[in-house]
């Protein structure tokens, strides 16, 4: 479900725009960056923020 929301947000953005997503848990951390890359987007960074991770994605 987390990637579905991320994907919908990315679809509303223009190419080159940057989205920051806060993820909680190991499964979203594995799935969201992988799925974003599979769709052609660029992962700019992943930062550990305690129980969460902040993922920065540039739309393709």
Total structural domains within the chain: 1
> Which ranges of the chain would DSSP assign to H, the alpha helix?
2-11, 26-38
- Note whether 3 and 31 are within 8 A (CB): yes
Identify the three-state secondary structure at position 12. coil
Q: Six-digit token pair at 4?
A: 């579905």
**CATH number reported for the structural domain that contains residue 22 in this entry:** 3.30.110.40
Task: Quote the domain boundaries for residue 37.
Answer: 2-58
The answer, yes or no, to whether residue 1 has pLDDT greater than 90, is no
Q: What is the pTM of this model?
A: 0.94
Q: Is 40 in contact with 7 (CB distance < 8 Å)?
A: no
pLDDT in tens, 10-56: 999 999 999 999 999 999 999 999 999 999 999 999 999 999 999 99
Over the Cα atoms of the chain, what is R_g?
11
């Amino acid at each position: 479900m987390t990637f579905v929301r991320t994907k919908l947000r990315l679809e509303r953005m223009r190419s080159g725009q940057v989205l920051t997503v806060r993820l909680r848990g190991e499964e979203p951390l594995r799935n969201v960056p992988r799925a974003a890359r599979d769709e052609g987007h660029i992962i700019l960074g992943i930062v550990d923020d305690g129980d969460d991770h902040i993922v920065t994605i540039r739309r393709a």
